A and B are shown apart, each in its own frame.
Chain A
Amino acid sequence: MIEFKINGRHTRANDGETILDVARREGFVIPTLCHHEILGSDGRCRLCMVEVKKRKRKRIIASCLYMAESGIEVSTETPEIQLIRRTVLELFLARNPASEVIRYFAREYGVIDTRYTRDNDKGKCILCNSCVKTCETVVGVTAISLSGKGPHKKVTTPFDGPSNVCIGCGACMAVCPTGHIYMEDRNGIRTIWNRRFELTKCPRCGRYHAPLAQLEFIAQKSGTALDRLTVCQDCR
């Protein structure tokens, strides 16, 4: 059993738990933007930074990645931590002015406005990588990725074109914390990632329910007959 302190209070952690895991369980508030309960985090947004004191040495670390350790003292509200949070939020406010999630967080942490020129070409994406991980590890196709570097980094399909491996499942859209990913179902057609997918009509209720490409993918993966899958879940 690992024992350590958060803001002066004794806490216990299990092996393999991050500081963020423990802090949340114990009711401490640490803001995060790129962390996802199931997908974890790659430490991208830097909103969750906290100070860790280990013997004499103080370090500022990403709580979503740092494993709890015996004897450390964690502080979540030092002036430096507050500076980092405000800075990150102000920067995001300038990058994603349209994002409600960012505006909410900014307000929550007292960032009223941004002093920087607002981008109007970057949408709401905070580059958390959750959609990419979902597509790759949960869905099992790699239709999208983070590409480009520096300020030009973005999540996209290969060469920004219609991806030929995407199955139109929409899992990426469902996981996106900011609503950046655009998906639309209309007249039996699903549009996502610059590609149009034909939706399958349930032979029983006549409702459009899933892209044919997705059903084919599932059929192939699971060995279920395609005509079973074309029947929607409600009618099955």
Chain B
Amino acid sequence: MMASRERLYAIGADYRKAISGYDKIVKICCGTGCISSGALTVYDELQRVLSKRGLSSKQILVKKTGCHGLCERGPIVVFGDDEILYQNVGKRNIERDIAALLATINEDKIEDELLYKGDDKTKRYMSSFDIPFYSGQTRIVLSLNGVIDPENIEEYVGYGGYKSLHKALQMNPMEIVDLIEKSGLRGRGGGGFLTGFKWRSCRQAQGLPKYVVANGDEGDPGAFMDRSLMEGNPHGILEGMIIGGFAIGSNHGFIYVRDEYPLAVYRLSKAIDEARHHGFLGRSIMNSGFDFDISIFRGGGAFVCGESTALISSIEGKSGEPRAKYIHTTEKGLWGKPTNINNVETWSNVPYIIDRGWEWFQSIGSDRSKGTKVFSLVGKVKNTGLIEVPMGVSLREIIFNLGGGIQGDKKFKAVQTGGPSGGCIPEEFLEIPVDFDSLTKLGSMMGSGGMIVMDERNCMVDVARYFLKFLIEESCGKCTPCREGVRRMHEIVDRICRGDGSMGDIEHLEELGKAIQLSSLCGLGQSAPNPVLSTIKFFREEYRTHVQEKKCPAGVCKNLITVSILPERCTGCMRCAVECPVDCISSEKKEIHGIDQSLCTKCGTCFDVCRFGAVKIS
């Protein structure tokens, strides 16, 4: 079926007409996070009771949406146009919560228990517009996440989807490339390469056919930005790719999705089928004469397969080893043909730029980083989740306003940005604007948008050790500095953590790190020393204390600490003794407690549970 402009409008109009027939819309988040905390049960139960005649006299549309961002508090249920947001629905008592949902539907009765609670535990927020986590955000690529049903193309069209594609198809391809370039859009996959520039070199490259690829590999542990986009608004990615294909002169696109993302694969496949059915994909898209189709490639899920040349090898059916990029993939990519790879979030921005113009996009963000960036904010912040903010907001704003500050009101120590090979940024730089260049200048990077907040109970040497461990496992092993060097950095850092550090280790790490950065073949090795080099740069003293004084100031490195109880503070409440996993705390009620040092594993549980500050780690 060929879609013309009339047909596009007809789908939109039909959708809006259908929607206006409902008295209420209930959106249940069915992203991976909420599904794992029981969202599908909530959905099924609510549908079941609503289908019983008489339980509601109203016309209700219950729909499954993509991720809302506050996954930690899922399942999330939202009414209407975000007027009411319920959290943790069905987590404790499913029947009671379903009854509460019914009461809200039928009588507009608000269930306080299910509302979002603020820091002080007394204030409750009704609408997501008021919750600081949301009100501090600027949502562009996430604007339809949590709003539309990703498995229903009519909803996407009803909210203006595929309008930009229609508009783009009336333009000259070179005009589109110009427009993307002028918008200042830079790649969201990590490097921050100017997207329009990449499109231009691919358009101008010799050789046919040309390919466009969406990189949805997302190997960073704990990151779920790209997954949420693929699950929550797959058509947005498709639309961006089709426009890109038209601009570049390509007729075929691939979406590379890691195998661990089955829901993303399912929703993308469904979106592709529906788009084909409506004539947005396939032959002569919207009667324009332009042919374009997209296939999904399921990747094995190695971190390095996200690297563009390894990704190409992987699609070609070879082993996922990167190759030197002295010839760009825009000239020789998939099967030696010009190939334009962009991250999923980068593609998602494209329809919005076409729709609202480059001037609009350019007006958002900072000097050399335009638009917004999606981050996954995790670690020791109160509100962990998925956020989208304009480039250039400060780290402080993200961590203390949106993130709500540090858990347990401990002291902020550092924030790690850029995924496993990013860097740690200390408090003195909290005011810096979050954009590509500022982060790079600090020895960290934007990466794909992971942000891990750390407090005083995080040891920076231990943190560096953790990331090195990950990178050793993920190195493909092709080139010497990365394969051998990273494990040797780990060897040294591990020794320091175990109390066997020696003078010169820090300088040795700096030297080895520099050599690895300079000589590794791909971005993984080139950035692998970052966690170590950035922690040495900002927390050198902490390294020195480990090496020279054999002490771990944060109280984490087990060989370097002792845990003891301060008799003057201990109230004998027994809390620590109950929680101690190895039962090494002698306990009599109301008596001062003691720790059997020969048994203590230094896990720090007692420290964390004592309400009187009586446990000392030194």
Instruction: Give A residues with C-beta under 8 Å from B.
Output: 42-47, 49, 60-62, 65-67, 80, 83-84, 86-88, 91-92, 94-95, 115-117, 126-127, 146, 148-153
A-B contact pairs, 28 of them (CB 8 A): A44-B521, A45-B479, A46-B520, A49-B518, A49-B519, A60-B518, A61-B326, A62-B324, A62-B521, A66-B326, A83-B511, A83-B514, A84-B515, A84-B518, A84-B519, A88-B515, A88-B519, A91-B484, A117-B491, A127-B477, A148-B477, A149-B302, A149-B476, A150-B474, A150-B476, A150-B487, A151-B475, A152-B477
Query: Is B131's beta carbon under 8 Å from chain A?
Result: no
> Cβ of A116 and Cβ of B479 under 8 Å apart?
no
1/0 contact trace for B462-479 toward A, CB 8 Å?
000000000011111111
Contact status B481-A91, CB under 8 Å: yes
Q: Is the interface of B mostly helix, strand, loop or mixed?
A: helix
- 6 pairs of A and B residues whose beta carbons are closest in the complex: A153-B477, A87-B515, A91-B484, A150-B475, A84-B519, A46-B519
Q: Are A60 and B519 in contact (CB under 8 A)?
A: yes
> Residue B480 at the A interface, CB < 8 A?
yes
Interface residues on B, range: 20 to 34
Query: Does the CB pair B508–A115 fall under 8 Å?
Result: yes
B244 within 8 A of A: no
B481 touches A46 (CB 8 A): yes
Cα distance A102–B480 in the bound complex, in angstroms: 13
Judge whether B474 and A88 touch: CB under 8 Å: no
Q: Complex formed: what's the CA distance from A28 to B514 in Å?
A: 26
CA distance A91 to B516 in the complex (A): 11
Taking the closest CB of chain A, its distance from the CB of B581, in whole angstroms, is 32
Structural contact, B326 and A65, CB atoms closer than 8 A: yes
Distance of A117 Cα from B514 Cα, bound (Å): 20
Residue pairs across A and B with CB atoms within 8 Å: the count is 100
Set A42, A46, A152: member contacting B480, Cβ < 8 A: A46
Q: How far is the CA of A86 from the CA of B518 in the complex (A)?
A: 13
**B580 an interface residue at 8 Å Cβ cutoff?**
no
By a CB distance below 8 angstroms, the chain B residues around A126 are: 480
Is B609 interfacial (CB 8 A cutoff)? no
Pair B487/A151 contact, Cβ less than 8 Å: yes
What separation, in Å, do the CA atoms of A84 and B324 have in the docked complex?
Answer: 17
Distance of B47 from chain A, by nearest CB (Å) = 46
A47 to B519, CA, bound (A): 9
Q: How far apart are the CA atoms of A153 and B320 in the complex, in Å?
A: 13
Residue among A44, A86, A91, A94 with the most chain B CB within 10 A? A91
Question: Could you say which residues of chain B place their CB within 8 Å of the CB of A115?
Answer: 508
B483 within 8 A of A: yes
From B324, B483, B514, contact of A65 by CB (8 A):
B324
> Who on chain A is nearest to B473 by CB?
A150
Q: Is the pair A43, B511 in contact by a Cβ cutoff of 8 Å?
A: no
Bound-state CA distance A152–B475 (Å) is 10
Q: B480 near A91 (CB under 8 angstroms)? A: yes
Q: In the complex the two chains form, is B481's CB within 8 Å of A42's CB?
A: no
- Please tell me if the beta carbons of A88 and B480 are within 8 angstroms of each other in the complex: yes
Selected from B302, B484, B515, the residue in CB contact (under 8 A) with A92 is B484
Q: B323 contacts the other chain (Cβ, under 8 Å)?
A: yes
Of chain A, the residue at the smallest CB distance from B521 is: A43
Interface string of B482-512 (1 = CB under 8 A from A): 0111011001000000000000000010011
Q: Of the candidates A86, A92, A151, which one forms a contact with B472 in the assembled complex, judged by CB atoms under 8 Å apart?
A: A151
Chain A residues with CB below 8 A from B512, complex form: 87
Q: Given A42-B478, A44-B478, A60-B519, list of 7 further CB < 8 A pairs?
A: A44-B521, A46-B479, A61-B326, A66-B324, A87-B481, A91-B481, A149-B475
The CA-CA distance from A209 to B599 in the complex, in Å, is 67
